């Protein structure tokens, strides 16, 4: 007896058939083109191998699915589980009849709440509500830094609901600055304003969120926005006047540049500043063990005008227009490379190096 469900935060699956082989596919929902996100929970009380086949494209990554026993802690099932880019196998054990599988390492609101619980009593941490969505969901805004800080940094993520790996990086980035603060005083000078879930309803619904019709959240920086959160971000950034604005994304599923961390260049004067930040980040990546830590090489960055990087009305192009001196979007892959598959912790350590690179960039800027 096999039972499959997706009635939890982030769940997304269509069950095609359950026989010897379990056939499923991702729900594309309102995305105007094919995308690859899926997540489901399955119960099987027998001790046996179950083969899973996906019937809509290649959506099984190089280390197989992310899997979890509790829906909170996720790791990769492993390359040995992969039968093809459309299929994997899992052996159910009697002590764990119920398991979760997902395309990549999920990060839901419950993960953010666990992170917030650990830092919420610190005097430099505050929490606010950016706005309500059209469904009346509160969009959280996390503030890390002194309320009197003269300068501000703005971070946001999940304009595209399924792009989950970025939030582990942001946890690491914030945790680094919080730990470093008593010695450095960095958070007296700079206050961080972070919107972890721009499309919070999409994240919790388990939507793809990418390429929504008629357009998605990151194409909504237009005169007549269709979502409630985008005009709220525009008002907020205009009033805040941050010195750094970073919008975190994942790239396409895998292959070529998509297997590397890269920055989306802007084609403006901000690119020189982005390059200084990138230089600092790549120097911090030097000498790391690539099997354990996620490298960054500016050679993978994409210039404005190349391929899909065109002057669309995105969050980062909005920030550039508003004269944020260094604004850009950065892409964090879903999987990583053969010699260094991503984990929640390696993503957090990458965030720690980004925090160091930001400190170096901001320190040079003020000299
Ligand atoms: Zn994105």
Give the pLDDT of residue 144. Answer: 98
Residues of the chain with CATH 3.40.630.10: 109-365
Ligand 1 center–CA 333 separation, angstroms: 11
Ligand 1 center–CA 44 separation, angstroms: 35
Ligand 1 center–CA 210 separation, angstroms: 7
Residue 366 has pLDDT above 70, yes or no: no
CATH-assigned architecture of domain 2-102: Sandwich (2.60)
Ligand 1 center–CA 251 separation, angstroms: 7
CA 106 to chain CA centroid, nearest Å: 9
Ligand 1 center–CA 161 separation, angstroms: 8
Residues of the chain with CATH 2.60.40.3120: 2-102
Ligand 1 center–CA 43 separation, angstroms: 32
- β strands within the chain, DSSP E: 2-5, 14-18, 21-25, 39-44, 49-54, 66-68, 75-76, 82-84, 87-91, 98-102, 125-132, 138-144, 151-157, 190-195, 244-249, 262-264, 326-331, 336-337, 340-341
Residue recorded with tokens 């105007």: 32
- 304-353 confidence digits (pLDDT tens): 999 999 999 999 999 999 999 999 999 999 998 766 789 999 999 999 99
Ligand 1 center–CA 159 separation, angstroms: 6
Ligand 1 center–CA 323 separation, angstroms: 22
Phi-psi domain of 256 (left: phi exceeds 0; alpha: psi -120 through 50; beta: other): left
- Which CATH code is given to the segment(s) 109-365? 3.40.630.10
Ligand 1 center–CA 315 separation, angstroms: 10
Residue 367 has pLDDT above 80, yes or no: no
Least confident of 15-19, 62-66, 289-293: 289-293
Cβ atoms of 90 and 99 within 8 Å: the answer is: yes
Ligand 1 center–CA 196 separation, angstroms: 13
Ligand 1 center–CA 22 separation, angstroms: 30
Residue partners of 350: CB distance under 8 A and separation at least 6: 169, 172, 261, 293, 294, 296, 332
- 70-93 confidence digits (pLDDT tens): 999 999 999 999 999 999 999 999
Ligand 1 center–CA 214 separation, angstroms: 16
Residue 185 has pLDDT above 70, yes or no: yes
Ligand 1 center–CA 325 separation, angstroms: 22
pTM score, two decimals? 0.97
**Spatial distance between the Cα atoms of 174 and 254, rounded to a whole number of angstroms:** 27
Ligand 1 center–CA 37 separation, angstroms: 13
The DSSP symbol for 357 reads: H
Percentage of residues of the chain with pLDDT beyond 70: 99
**Spatial distance between the Cα atoms of 58 and 37, rounded to a whole number of angstroms:** 11
Which residues, listed in sequence order, are joined to residue 2 by a DSSP beta bridge? 44
Helices (H), the chain: 109-119, 165-184, 186-189, 200-205, 229-240, 270-285, 315-321, 344-365
């Amino acid at each position: 007896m096999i039972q499959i469900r997706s009635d939890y935060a982030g769940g997304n699956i269509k069950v095609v058939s359950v026989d010897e082989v379990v056939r499923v596919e991702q729900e594309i929902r309102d995305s105007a083109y094919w995308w690859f996100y899926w997540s489901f929970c399955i119960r099987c009380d027998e001790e046996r191998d179950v083969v899973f086949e996906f019937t809509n494209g290649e959506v099984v990554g190089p280390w197989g699915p992310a899997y979890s026993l509790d829906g909170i802690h996720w790791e990769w099932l492993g390359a040995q589980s992969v039968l093809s880019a459309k299929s994997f196998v899992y052996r159910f054990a009697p002590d764990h009849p119920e398991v979760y599988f997902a395309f990549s390492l999920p990060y839901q609101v419950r993960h953010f709440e666990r992170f917030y619980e650990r830092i919420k009593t610190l005097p430099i941490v505050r929490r606010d509500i950016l706005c309500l969505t059209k469904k009346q969901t509160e969009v959280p805004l996390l503030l890390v830094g002194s309320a009197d800080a003269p300068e501000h940094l703005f971070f946001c993520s999940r304009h595209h609901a399924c792009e989950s790996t970025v939030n582990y990086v942001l946890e690491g980035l914030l945790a680094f600055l919080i730990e470093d603060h008593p010695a450095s005083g960095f958070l007296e000078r700079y206050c961080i304003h972070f919107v972890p879930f721009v499309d919070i309803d999409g994240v919790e619904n388990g939507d793809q969120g990418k390429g929504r019709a008629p357009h998605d959240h990151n194409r909504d920086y237009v005169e007549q926005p269709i979502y409630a959160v985008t005009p709220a971000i525009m008002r907020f950034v205009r009033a805040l006047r941050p010195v750094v604005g970073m919008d975190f994304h994942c790239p396409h599923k895998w292959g070529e540049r998509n297997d590397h961390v890269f920055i989306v260049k802007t084609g403006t004067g901000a690119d020189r500043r982005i390059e200084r930040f990138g230089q600092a980040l790549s120097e911090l990546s030097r000498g790391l063990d690539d099997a354990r830590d996620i490298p960054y090489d500016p050679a993978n960055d994409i210039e404005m005008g190349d391929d899909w990087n065109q002057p669309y009305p995105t969050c980062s192009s909005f920030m550039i227009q508003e004269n944020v001196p260094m604004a850009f979007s950065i892409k964090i892959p879903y999987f990583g490379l053969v010699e260094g598959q991503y984990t929640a912790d390696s993503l957090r350590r990458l965030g720690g190096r980004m925090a160091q690179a930001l400190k170096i960039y901001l320190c040079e800027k003020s000299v």
